[in-house]
Structure 1
Amino acid sequence: MISADQIREHMEVLAQDGAHVGTVDHMDGESRIKLTKNDSPDGQHHYIPLDWVDHVDQHVHLSKNADDVRKDWSSMN
């Protein structure tokens, strides 16, 4: 399982299909990744659960494709 301490600020987040879905702002607790709003299509922060992370190297790689990530992520309203 992926640990929250493997996720670092400014890491690129890639969907399973290789598409860029965001940049890590920081970990929000131990179970959610907060993405930067500057790199968001709608200018908002979005959150993705740590459970979606497949593996981490120099990037955060997700186990979902980009369309599903954008459909299912939560937003800060």
Structure 2
Amino acid sequence: MIEPSRIREHAEVIGADGVHVGTVDRVEGGRIKLTKRDSGEGRHEGHHHFIALDLVADVEGDRVRLSANGAEAVSFEEEPDGKGIH
């Protein structure tokens, strides 16, 4: 697993395919907390989502690259309570 201290606030989170997944708000409780502006639509809009640190493949400067493609990574996002969003 990547050392959480390597993940910077406001870094872009991208899938293995380079697709934008979100923007880091901060690392919290073993997960990356994404900014609200990347929260999605409908009932998912307007609140934070989380990505498990286990999905991080590498940190490249101001980019966090995930091991899953962008579309797959979104399906792994979690709500604040730790439950999946889909």
Q: Which moved more, 1:39-48 or 1:57-66?
A: 39-48
Counterpart residue number, 2:27: 27
Counterpart residue number, 2:59: 56
Unmatched tracts of structure 1, length 5 or more? none
* C-alpha RMSD over aligned residues: 1.4
Matched, 1:66 2:35: no
Runs of 4+ in 1 over 6 A off after TM superposition: none
* Equivalent AA in structure 1 for residue 39 of structure 2: S
The alpha-carbon deviation at position 57 of structure 1 amounts to 1.3
Give the structure with the higher percent helix: 2
Structure possessing the higher radius of gyration over alpha carbons: 2
Q: Secondary structure at the match of 2:38?
A: coil
Query: Paired residues, what number?
Result: 76
Counterpart residue number, 2:36: 37
Unmatched tracts of structure 2, length 5 or more? 82-86
Give the structure with the higher percent strand: 1
1:3-37: CA deviations, max 9, x gaps? 010011100000011100000000112x1100001
* Equivalent AA in structure 1 for residue 53 of structure 2: L
Counterpart residue number, 2:7: 7
